[in-house]
Amino acid sequence: MIRVGVLGAAGRMGQQVGHAVASADDLELVAAVDPDHAGTDAGGIVIAGSLDGLAGADVAVDFTHPSAVMGNIRWCLSHGVHVVVGTTGLSTENLDEVRALTEHTDGNVVVAPNFALGAVLLLRFAAEAARFFDAAEVIELHHDGKADAPSGTALATARAIDAARAGEWSAPDAIGADPSARGADVQGVRVHAVRLPGLVAHEEVLFGGPGQVLTLRHDALDRSAFMPGVLLAIRSIANRPGLTLGLDALLD
């Protein structure tokens, strides 16, 4: 039985994770942490206001905020707790620090920008398409509560396209009142971020070639779409020494 704690337990993703863990036969929900909701109930467990509430957990799942996630990871690793991170917004420097921390502690870390299996497959398909279409743009659409933009999934997709494409292509810059209308430039791939109420998590990748356009799209219509991937990471992390980036590595 794997003992699991949830960080950000009162949030929309945190609540889903808590329910999924509590419903799994091989997992036990032993802790819930959310400083803004301390003392309230989370599936039969009282939410703790500090990380000390994770005492006894084997794995912590973090769906908090970019401003909090690094402190949470440091605490967990220093206390021998593995960490599954779904919070996006980690920089390259953050990941380097996490990698170094895992080398001197007993904890492992899995960081994934997206836990939906369909989104992972879209990333694979995009990398394959990029071998034949140099010209590509990414549109990501999320709910209005998502703090970071572009999303971690969109950044990973753009980088995968850049690494896989055979030739070079640069999207034209905008000439007009607001050049930012062309979106962010991520290694030569334009990325556009939409934030609206009613959305959950969506990504569209457009590839263009002479006389044709190829469109790849994934839509997460409910947060339950992410739970199989989260549970896979929880079950796998003890056997993944150090830092693992992306759910794709666990599927292999």
Q: Which are the catalytic amino acids?
A: 142, 146
Beta strand 82-85 with 59-62 is parallel
In the chain, the amino acid numbered 251 is: L
d(CA 33, CA 52): 9
| Listed residue (97, 5, 107, 105) closest to 51, CA to CA | 5
Q: Quick one: residue 39, left, alpha or beta (phi over 0 = left, psi -120 to 50 = alpha)?
A: left
Q: At what angle do helices 12-23 and 227-236 cross, to 10 degrees?
A: 60
Instruction: Report the Cα–Cα distance between both ends of the chain, in Å, rounded.
Output: 24
* CA distances to 66, 111, 152 from 114, in Å: 15, 9, 8
